[in-house]
Amino acid sequence: MPQPPDKSDLNSPSRHRPVEAEAASHIEDVAETSPQDERVAKLLEHSIDVSVLADAVQQQEAADAADTLETLQQEEAAEVLEQMDDQSAADALAEMQMPLAVGVMEDLVEEDLAYATRLLELMAPDDAADLLQAMGESYRQEALAALTLATAAQLRDLIDYDRESAGGLMTTDFLALTERMTVAQATEVIRASTIGPGVQHLLVVRDDGRLVGIIGLRDLLLAGPDHPIAELMNQTVKAVRTDLDREQVAREFDRYDYSMLPVVDLDDRLIGVVTVDDVIDIIRAEDTEDVQKSVGAGAVEAVYSGMGEKFRGRFPWLVVNLFTTCVAVIVVLQFENLIRELAILAVLMPMIAAQAGNAGHQALAVTLRGIVLEEVRPGRVVPLVLREGAVGLLTGVLLGVVVGIALTLLSTVMDSVSWRLGVVAAVSMALSTGIGTLAGSSVPLLMRRLGADPATASAIFLIMITDAVAFATFLGCAQLLSGWLIEPGAAG
């Protein structure tokens, strides 16, 4: 399987350039704004001259060019792209936020179909497939029909794969050697091809396309020209199937420090590769997705998603939240008479509920992270939950002491506040915070046990529990001690 580059050769003489070359080099600090970015920023301060701005944008790095295009209106971004050279435009478009890139591409399809398809052909196949997959059906079909037959067939195959799978993640733009080659023949193939600067290993296949090995570029460099590839390659190759979930693909990269993973079909034929840059995108997307799902937002919603997508992702869970909050309302209604007699209780209830909710969310975040990273082992679930509950109880007791002291001090200047109320608030704070933390760690574990996604709306169900528990605990304690609380000077 591909291994990380051998760092032992970083200090070898062959890696040192002559002094003259070093004197002519220019080091750029990535944390500082580049001259190209500064020029673009100045241009954007004034009215936009499309041709001048396009010339400046195409001199930026692709990611920076994408940032610039994202600041423009959709129509303006399309105009700037049309004035840039084709490869720079394609690279920038591939780096843009997907909703914005889709809008720009759909505009280009409407206005200049030939140019739009030219950009798609210049993109990496996986980037082009992702963009087409996100476009509206009519735009996608129009673009595919205008592509060359070979490119259209390649992209249709990629689009057919589930976006959440290794097949939907892979690129078909890779270089493979055949096992019958010699080192000299392989070298000629490499020289005639375009491979990325980070490539350290190449895959080896049979004539029928079956994956049989992997070979490092360093091994090719050190071997004699007539040496057969079959004798140099490592025949143990780890690969993934097209239907493997992308989260599992990311875990394999993280666990074994791969820079690339081949994707094979059921007959072990090589059909694509997943590269580390795609895995970085997965990790970022999955983290975002889990956070958004935990609060009931759309899993794939982005900042620039359309109103329709945002509404569809959020509204159903807001309806669920509407009904779950009824649980807390029902709890409060059971103590209506008590609240009427001690109005100060209505002021303190949100504080108790907020602390229980915050403590629960802390436990929820830690537990969700452990589940995603597969750190939560089946045999250690109970100790994990008990530990979280103990931490919540400890913090609740300390917070309760602080609240009790604060209310006692407040009672010296306000007749409506009693030190007795401080005792009740302290006890309920300790109990509700402990239970909230316990619930925060238990909700995602329970959802996983039931076969549901642990992240899906966990926060909504947690809020239901913490609010109901906090109100019931605080008002329940106050009800039990009402005779002690409602004494002369104890209530307003």
Q: Which amino acid is it at 395?
A: T
Determine the average pLDDT of the residues in 445-450: 85
Question: How is residue 256 written in tokens?
Answer: 């074994």
Looking at the chain, the whole-number percentage of residues with pLDDT higher than 90 is 41
Task: Give the C-alpha separation, 305 to 11, whole Å.
Answer: 48
What pLDDT is attached to residue 300?
59
Q: E strands of 218-331, at which residues? A: 240-241, 260-264, 270-275
Q: What CA–CA distance (Å, rounded) separates 248 from 55?
A: 42
- Which residue ranges form the domains of the chain, and what is each CATH number? 32-160 (1.25.60.10), 176-278 (3.10.580.10), 307-485 (1.10.357.20)
pLDDT tier for residue 489 given thresholds of 50, 70 and 90 = very low
Confidence of residue 299 (pLDDT cuts 50, 70, 90): low
Please report the pLDDT score of residue 4 as a whole number.
39
Is the CB of residue 161 less than 8 Å from the CB of residue 242? yes
**In angstroms, rounded to a whole number, what is the distance separating the alpha carbons of residues 432 and 272?**
53
Residue 298 three-state SS = coil
What is the C-alpha separation between 289 and 164, in angstroms, rounded? Answer: 12
The yes-or-no verdict on residue 91 having pLDDT over 70 is yes
Q: Calculate the CA 424 to chain-centre distance.
A: 43
pLDDT of residue 293: 59
Q: Is the pLDDT of residue 387 over 80?
A: yes
pTM for the structure as a whole: 0.65
**What are the pLDDT digits (tens) for 7-66?**
333 333 333 444 444 445 566 666 677 888 888 888 777 767 888 999 999 999 999 999
CB-based contacts of 207, cutoff 8 Å, min separation 6 = 178, 180
Question: 27-31, 153-157, 274-278, 461-465 — which is least confidently predicted?
Answer: 27-31
Among 120-124, 274-278, 290-294, 319-323, the range scoring the smallest mean pLDDT is 290-294
pLDDT at position 23: 46
* Digit-coded pLDDT (tens) for 247-261: 889 888 877 878 889
**Res 294: pLDDT:** 58
Give the mean pLDDT of the chain.
Answer: 83
Which CA distances in Å does 473 have to 124, 180, 382, 402?
58, 76, 24, 18
Confidence of residue 343 (pLDDT cuts 50, 70, 90): confident
pLDDT classification of 451: cutoffs 50, 70, 90:
confident
Task: Kindly state the average pLDDT of the residues 412-436.
Answer: 85
Q: Which of 386-390, 410-414, 452-456 has the lowest mean pLDDT?
A: 452-456
Please determine, for residue 394, whether its predicted confidence score (pLDDT) is greater than 70: yes
How long is the chain? 492
pLDDT at residue 415 tops 80: no
Q: Which residue has the higher pLDDT, 233 or 303?
A: 233
Per-residue pLDDT tens over the stretch 106-143: 999 999 999 999 999 999 999 999 999 999 999 999 99
Query: Cβ(204)–Cβ(214) under 8 Å?
Result: yes
Position 479 scores a pLDDT of 87
Count Cβ atoms within 10 A of the Cβ of residue 192 and give its class: 0-12 exposed, 13-18 middle, 19 or more buried: exposed
pLDDT at res. 6: 42
- pLDDT grade for 301, boundaries at 50, 70 and 90: low
Which residues are CB-neighbours of 48 under 8 A, at least 6 positions away? 72, 76
285-304 b/e with 16+ CB inside 10 Å = b? bbeebbebbbbbbbbbbbee
Angle at 205 between CA 201 and CA 206, to 5 degrees: 160
2 or 233, greater pLDDT: 233
* Predicted pLDDT at 7: 37
> What local confidence, expressed as pLDDT, does residue 273 receive?
93
Which 3-state string (H, E, C) describes 441-480? HHHHHHHHHCCCCCCCCHHHHHHHHHHHHHHHHHHHHHHH
If one compares 97 and 89, the residue with the highest pLDDT of the two is 89
**Residue type at 109?**
V
Cα radius of gyration (the chain)? 30
pLDDT score, position 114 = 94
